[in-house]
Amino acid sequence: MNRHLFLDVAHRPIERITRDCTACVEEFMDTLPPAPAESEGSILVHTVDCKGVRMRPNQRNPDAVKTEDKPGEKKMACVAQTYSIDPHYRSKEGILDSFFGPGSSETVKQKDPRRPKPLHRRTFVSLKQPKSQVLRSSSRSAKERIHEGTQEKLVIMDGEKALWNKSAEFLPDWPEAIDVTHVVEKLRIAGRLHYGHTSAAEEYGRERTLLLLEGKVDDVIEDFDAAMEDGTLTSKEAEELNSKALGYFKNYRDRMAYDQYLAKGLPIASGIIESTCL
């Protein structure tokens, strides 16, 4: 306000107003009318993520496990969202280019003007309530939006096990997909373990991402297993591959049916909830 309006406003009133406004959020969300069915997309999506919020010293949890990466200064807020969207059919090559750059010097990356926009986003968030309460409210909202024009449903998130367990409890019959962005990061780790920070590591990631997009997740898992046993990696590298990639793929392989998602025009990344958390 000072920079744009040249107003010298004290911090405390702003903090008080912001705190008072939060008391009205749930009431406001509850009074929102349902979106008209004719304005909804044919795909209904439910997505959840968590955001670390830095706390004052006297509000931090003294029993929280502290590490170098997580010194216990933050508390996790749970953010859930429902929205509808129309199908978007993408080529595997275009997806690969978005992660690894153009496959050849002649390929020019272009923004897809036909990309559909999410419709009627409904957001549920709390720093105080448990995750189960946030998911209970958001999943109830999601189920209320199902109508005759709803052709597909999808839960898409990252790899937090607690969220998947709660999602399966509240939306047991919904197909599930793990955000491909997080999966590609695991492949990048595997590529660096094999080839270091080289172009060969990027090519390794590109080739295995293509396998995933073709529905060949088991081929990627078999490749990891082989690298664990054939001496390609040192014992330390093999241990890191197992802990940071192989276990992840084995735990979430059923949520990596990207060939099926793409054939139906479903989203395969959770950028919408990620941007909401930011």
Is 60 exceeded by the pLDDT of residue 171?
yes
Question: Which one has a higher pLDDT value, 229 or 109?
Answer: 229
Q: List pLDDT tens digits, range 25-36.
A: 778 877 888 889
Q: From its phi and psi, is residue 54 left (phi > 0), alpha (psi between -120 and 50) or beta?
A: beta
Neighbours of 236 (CB within 10 A): 9
How far apart, in whole angstroms, are the C-alpha atoms of residue 71 and residue 80? 25
DSSP at 108 = -
Is 80 exceeded by the pLDDT of residue 59?
no
Report how far Cα 192 is from the mean position of its chain's Cα atoms: 23
Give the pLDDT score at 173: 94
Is residue 267 within 8 Å of 91, Cβ to Cβ?
Answer: no
Give the pLDDT score at 110: 56
Give the confidence band of 50 by pLDDT, cuts at 50, 70, 90.
confident
Is residue 224 within 8 Å of 194, Cβ to Cβ?
Answer: no
Give the pLDDT score at 26: 74
Give the pLDDT score at 139: 94
Is 60 exceeded by the pLDDT of residue 53?
yes
Q: List pLDDT tens digits, range 64-94.
A: 767 766 777 777 888 999 999 999 999 999 9
Give the confidence band of 278 by pLDDT, cuts at 50, 70, 90.
low
pTM of the model: 0.84
What whole-number percentage of the chain has pLDDT above 70? Answer: 94
Burial class (CB in 10 A: 0-12, 13-18, 19+), 142: buried
Give the pLDDT score at 271: 83
Q: Token pair for residue 101?
A: 């750059």
Give the confidence band of 133 by pLDDT, cuts at 50, 70, 90.
very high
Average pLDDT of the chain, as a whole number:
88
Phi, psi of 206 (to 5 degrees): -65, -45
Question: Which one has a higher pLDDT value, 51 or 134?
Answer: 134
H or E element, residue 124: strand 119-126
Q: How far is CA 258 from CA 135, 161, 164, in A?
A: 25, 20, 18
